[in-house]
């Protein structure tokens, strides 16, 4: 008792356990044990097991969204904005491989979750990318041929897949390399004229 934030400890424990066993193969009692609380205590902070996963996701996306906003605040060049976005994403994922696995793998898993209105944060994340693309198009820096939402989705898919590869432990190069190359790949396709890298 007396730990300042029990909710936080449960969420952290959940990330570890879900990453190792998968959401549906994880037991609430495992999470409780990892968090050092009683099983019943979980239900003082979360509605049910699903809710733990949702909160993990919401909290994580919120945190990354905050970081993205901070990082992008002073950048105006569209190309630099997109490349910064990718780097912040990779850096965030790199902080916790377990978290990366949970948000990229577990969450897609069920339409129940994906269709959940509480997952709007994910929509906001995609919208953020799309917005960067639109800005770039407005600036004339990005090709106007592309549908911003599709480009955003494809961009997210690419960086997420690379983060997943890294998280699953089959990485054959550093996250940093992956980041650079992905950005490179995409920027070439986006910019009206291939940027001199």
User: Which option in DNA, its own copies, none does residue 128 bind, with CB closer than 5 to 8 A by kind?
Assistant: none
Count CA atoms within 13 Å of residue 25 on its CB side.
7
Binders of its own copies in range 58-117 (CB under 8 A): 101, 104-106, 108-112, 114-115
Q: How far is CA 180 from CA 15, 76, 143, 197, in A?
A: 27, 20, 21, 11
User: Quick one: which of 40, 73, 169, 172 contacts DNA (CB under 7 A)?
Assistant: 40
Provide the minimum distance between the beta carbon of 70 and its own copies in the complex, in angstroms, as a whole number: 26
Phi, psi of 25 (to 5 degrees): -100, 5
- Give the nearest distance from C-beta 25 to DNA in angstroms: 7
Of 14, 5, 6, nearest to 101 by C-alpha is 14
Is 173 near its own copies (CB under 8 A)?
Answer: yes
Q: Is 34 in the site for its own copies (CB under 8 A)?
A: no
User: Which residues of the shown chain bind its own copies in the complex (CB under 8 A)?
Assistant: 20, 22-25, 101, 104-106, 108-112, 114-115, 145-147, 149-151, 153-162, 164-165, 168, 172-173, 177-178, 181-182, 184-190, 193-194, 197
User: Which residues of the shown chain bind DNA in the complex (CB under 7 A)?
Assistant: 1-2, 6, 25-29, 37-44, 48-50
């Amino acid at each position: 008792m007396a730990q300042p934030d029990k909710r936080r400890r449960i969420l952290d424990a959940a990330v570890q356990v879900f990453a190792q066993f998968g959401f549906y193969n994880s037991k609430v009692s495992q999470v409780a044990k990892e968090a050092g609380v009683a099983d019943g205590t979980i239900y003082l902070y979360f509605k049910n097991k699903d809710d733990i996963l949702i909160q993990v996701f919401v909290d994580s996306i919120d945190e990354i969204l905050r970081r993205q906003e901070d990082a992008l605040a002073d950048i105006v060049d569209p190309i630099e904005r997109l490349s910064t976005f990718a780097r912040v994403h990779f850096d965030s994922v790199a902080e916790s491989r377990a978290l990366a696995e949970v948000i990229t793998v577990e969450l897609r898993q069920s339409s129940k979750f994906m269709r959940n209105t509480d997952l709007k944060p994910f929509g906001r994340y995609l919208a953020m990318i799309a917005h960067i693309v639109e800005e770039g198009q407005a600036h004339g820096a990005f090709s106007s041929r592309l549908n911003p939402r599709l480009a955003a989705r494809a961009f997210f898919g690419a960086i997420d897949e690379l983060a997943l590869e890294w998280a699953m432990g089959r990485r054959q190069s550093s996250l940093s390399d992956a980041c650079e190359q992905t950005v490179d790949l995409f920027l070439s396709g986006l910019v009206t004229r291939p940027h001199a890298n």
